[in-house]
């Protein structure tokens, strides 16, 4: 699957639900958003059908996400089905970790290849301010449970909202004490994230090097997308960055997204793509679905323009929970 610039699109992020058990300030309002009905979201069989066709076209890696994917019943069953698709090399999961302790054994049994845990602070008060929840203890218990499965790599994803130096160094310290890679993700100006100023990779690196010493670029790959990593002396894990604003990496982008209601979305900034749910439920032929998928990928936008002030009728206006995080 190649687009008009020759980028090889072999990775899809699939939102299996728009529901979430947190109310993070950069993602949704305190009262939440109107959730999709069960009839509006793709069934597991529909998701497997799309992924099977895309695997025939070159798809290799799948990330299961949400909302919060672990609130959808039998999510491990879906992971197991995705793992069985010929051509799929990795099926990974992103979660906020609250339900991870109780579900980790089932996820491991289903064959999940890696787990990313979204965690923006280790301070209980700050966690409550960011997530509007008091569930930090459950998240940490989920991480401890996941560490019992050393063959399943773990990452912590931090979107710095509380940018005090002690918060950034405490999170990075997780990678010092545990075989966990900690990634700092620049705030995306999408939905409620527009209200916040992103903390750049260069700013965070300066803080971490003052605390822990020089950071050495790591040349290997540790994930599905174009994130990059650094080694620190004495650290069990790596420090990573997803710096889509300050270090724009659109020319390396290898991903598309499938929203919970079945919209194949080709760029985070733009509301462009195909409504695959409508096609699936109209009884279309597989060749028609493949043609739509191929056309969407061929016309994938060249890059985002988050830092450019302009009106664009195709710009995405939904919240991240509605798109797929």
pLDDT at 315 > cutoff 90:
no
Tens-place pLDDT, residues 284-301: 999 999 999 999 999 888
Q: What is the reported pLDDT for 313?
A: 47
Question: Which of these ranges, 57-71, 85-99, 250-264, 305-319, has the smallest mean pLDDT?
Answer: 305-319
Per DSSP, the three-state class of 17 is: coil
The pTM of the full predicted model, rounded to 2 decimals, is 0.88
CA 29, CA 110: separation in Å to the nearest integer? 34
CA 13, CA 93: separation in Å to the nearest integer? 9
Strands (E), the chain: 11-15, 61-65, 90-95, 114-118, 154-158, 180-185, 216-218, 228-231, 239-242, 255-258, 263-265, 273-275
CA 96, CA 77: separation in Å to the nearest integer? 19
Determine the longest span between alpha carbons in the chain, in angstroms. Answer: 59
Tens-place pLDDT, residues 163-175: 688 999 999 999 9
CA 175, CA 222: separation in Å to the nearest integer? 14
pLDDT at 270 > cutoff 80:
no
Mean pLDDT of the chain: 88
* 202 CA to centre of own chain: 22
68: its two tokens: 């919060």
CA 178, CA 146: separation in Å to the nearest integer? 12
CA 51, CA 78: separation in Å to the nearest integer? 11
φ, ψ of residue 54 to 5 degrees: the values are -70, -35
Instruction: Work out the average pLDDT over 202-214.
Output: 94
Q: What is the reported pLDDT for 51?
A: 98
* 88 CA to centre of own chain: 18
pLDDT at 131 > cutoff 60:
yes
Cβ–Cβ under 8 Å, residues 51 and 62: yes
pLDDT at 27 > cutoff 50:
yes
Angstrom CA distances, 249 to 27, 59, 226, stand at 23, 20, 7
Res. 190 pLDDT band, cuts 50 70 90: low
| Strands, sheet with 180-185, edge to edge from the N-terminal-most edge strand | 216-218, 228-231, 239-242, 180-185, 154-158, 114-118, 90-95, 61-65, 11-15, 255-258, 263-265, 273-275
Cβ neighbours for 132, distance < 8 A, ≥ 6 positions apart = 22, 23, 24, 25, 30
Q: What is the reported pLDDT for 247?
A: 56
The most confident of 69-83, 185-199, 231-245, 259-273, by mean pLDDT: 69-83
Question: Which of these ranges, 26-30, 32-36, 86-90, 156-160, has the smallest mean pLDDT?
Answer: 26-30
Tens-place pLDDT, residues 46-93: 999 999 999 999 999 999 999 999 999 999 999 999 999 999 999 999
Q: What is the reported pLDDT for 29?
A: 82
Measured at the CA of 153, the angle between CA 1 and CA 111, to 5 degrees, comes to: 70
Q: According to DSSP H, which parts of 232-319 are helical? A: 276-281, 286-298
Q: What is the reported pLDDT for 118?
A: 95
Stretch (H or E) spanning 100: helix 100-110
CA 295, CA 300: separation in Å to the nearest integer? 9
Res. 194 pLDDT band, cuts 50 70 90: low
Q: What is the reported pLDDT for 268?
A: 76
A 10 A CB-CB count for 307 gives 9
Angstrom CA distances, 304 to 89, 126, 238, 248, stand at 28, 31, 28, 9
Chain position carrying tokens 């609130």: 71
Q: What is the reported pLDDT for 295?
A: 93
Q: What percent of the chain has pLDDT over 90?
A: 67
The most confident of 2-11, 187-196, 206-215, 301-310, by mean pLDDT: 206-215
Res. 305 pLDDT band, cuts 50 70 90: very low
Q: What is the reported pLDDT for 228?
A: 87
């Amino acid at each position: 699957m190649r687009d008009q610039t020759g980028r090889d699109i072999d990775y899809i992020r699939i939102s299996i639900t728009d529901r979430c058990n947190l109310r993070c300030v950069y993602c949704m309002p305190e009262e939440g958003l109107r959730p999709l009905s069960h009839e509006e979201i793709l069934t597991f069989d529909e998701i497997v059908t799309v992924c099977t066709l895309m695997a025939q076209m070159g798809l290799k890696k799948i990330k299961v996400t949400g909302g919060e994917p672990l609130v959808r019943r039998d999510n491990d069953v879906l992971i197991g089905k995705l793992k069985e698709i010929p051509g799929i090399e990795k099926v990974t999961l992103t979660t906020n970790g609250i339900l991870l302790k109780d579900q980790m054994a089932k996820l491991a049994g289903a064959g999940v290849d890696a787990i990313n845990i979204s965690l923006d602070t280790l301070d209980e008060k700050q966690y409550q301010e960011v997530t509007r929840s008091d569930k930090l203890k459950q998240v940490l218990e989920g991480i401890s449970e996941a560490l019992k499965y050393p063959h399943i790599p773990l990452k912590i994803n931090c979107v710095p909202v509380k940018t005090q130096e002690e918060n950034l160094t405490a999170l990075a310290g997780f990678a010092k004490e545990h075989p966990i890679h900690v990634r700092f993700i620049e705030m995306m100006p999408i939905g409620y994230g527009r209200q916040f100023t992103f903390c750049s990779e260069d700013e965070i690196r300066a803080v971490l090097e003052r605390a822990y010493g020089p950071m050495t670029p790591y040349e290997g790959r540790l994930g599905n997308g174009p994130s990059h990593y650094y080694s620190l002396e004495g650290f069990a894990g790596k420090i990573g960055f997803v710096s889509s604003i300050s270090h724009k990496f659109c020319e390396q982008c290898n991903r598309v997204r499938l929203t919970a209601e079945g919209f194949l979305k080709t760029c985070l900034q733009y509301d462009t793509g195909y409504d695959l749910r409508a096609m699936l439920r109209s009884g279309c032929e597989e060749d028609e679905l493949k043609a739509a998928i191929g056309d969407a990928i061929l016309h994938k936008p060249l890059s985002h323009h988050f830092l450019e002030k302009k009106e664009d009728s195709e710009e995405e206006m939904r919240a991240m929970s509605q798109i797929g995080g």
